[in-house]
Structure 1
Amino acid sequence: MKKLFLIIGAPGSGKTTDAELIAEKHDNITHYSTGDMFRAEVKSGSERGKIINKYISVGNIVPIDIAIETILGAIKKTFTDVVIIDGYPRSFEQMNELDKYLANEIEVELVNVIEVEVSEEVARERVLERARGADDNVEVFNNRMKVYTEPLAEIQEFYIRKNLLHKINGERTIDEIVEDIDNFIQSRI
Structure 2
Amino acid sequence: MKKLFLIIGAPGSGKTTDAELIAKQCSDTIVHYSTGDLLRSEVASGSERGKLIEGFTSKGNLVPLDIVVETIVTAIKNAPKDVILIDGYPRSVEQMASLDKVLKSQNDVALKSVIEVDVSELVARERVLGRARGADDNVEVFNNRMQVYKTPLKEIQDFYSQMGILKRINGERKIEKIVEEMQDFIKSKI
Q: Scaled by the length of structure 1, what TM-score is found?
A: 0.87
Q: Deviation at 1:38?
A: 4.7
- Structure with max Cα Rg: 2
Verify the 8 A CA contact 1:38 1:52 in the aligned structure 2.
no
**C-alpha spacing 1:164/1:136, structure 2 compared with 1 (3 Å):** same
Match of 1:88, SS state, is: coil
1:15 and 2:15 matched: yes
Please give the alpha-carbon distance, in whole angstroms, between the structure 1 residues aligned to 2:63 and 2:132: 21
Aligned partner of 1:5 in structure 2 is 5
1:51 and 2:56 matched: yes
**C-alpha spacing 1:8/1:20, structure 2 compared with 1 (3 Å):** same
**C-alpha spacing 1:106/1:93, structure 2 compared with 1 (3 Å):** same
Q: Deviation at 1:74?
A: 1.6
Match of 2:127, SS state, is: helix
**C-alpha spacing 1:124/1:62, structure 2 compared with 1 (3 Å):** farther
Aligned partner of 1:181 in structure 2 is 182
Q: Deviation at 1:20?
A: 0.4
Could you say what the CA RMSD is over the residues aligned between the two structures, in angstroms?
Answer: 2.3
Q: Scaled by the length of structure 2, what TM-score is found?
A: 0.87
Match of 2:81, SS state, is: coil
Amino acid at match of 2:7: I
**C-alpha spacing 1:62/1:171, structure 2 compared with 1 (3 Å):** farther
1:116 and 2:121 matched: no
Verify the 8 A CA contact 2:53 2:63 in the aligned structure 1.
no
Please give the alpha-carbon distance, in whole angstroms, between the structure 2 residues aligned to 1:50 and 1:13: 32
Aligned partner of 1:104 in structure 2 is 105
For 1:111-130, what per-residue CA distance to the aligned partner results, in whole angstroms no more than 9, with x for missing partners? 00000000111111212223
**C-alpha spacing 1:71/1:116, structure 2 compared with 1 (3 Å):** same
Comparing 81-90 and 67-76, the one that deviates more: 67-76
Q: Deviation at 1:41?
A: 6.8
Aligned partner of 1:139 in structure 2 is 140
Aligned partner of 1:84 in structure 2 is 85
Amino acid at match of 2:22: I
Please give the alpha-carbon distance, in whole angstroms, between the structure 2 residues aligned to 1:50 and 1:119: 37
Please give the alpha-carbon distance, in whole angstroms, between the structure 1 residues aligned to 2:162 and 2:175: 29
Please give the alpha-carbon distance, in whole angstroms, between the structure 2 residues aligned to 1:36 and 1:135: 18
Any stretches of 5+ residues in structure 2 without a counterpart? none
For 1:32-65, what per-residue CA distance to the aligned partner results, in whole angstroms no more than 9, with x for missing partners? 012444566789996624634736xxxxx75412
**C-alpha spacing 1:95/1:186, structure 2 compared with 1 (3 Å):** same
Taking only the aligned residue pairs, the percentage that are identical comes to: 64
Verify the 8 A CA contact 1:10 1:148 in the aligned structure 2.
yes
Comparing 128-137 and 42-51, the one that deviates more: 42-51
Amino acid at match of 2:4: L
Amino acid at match of 2:31: T
Equivalenced residue count is 184
Any stretches of 5+ residues in structure 1 without a counterpart? 56-60
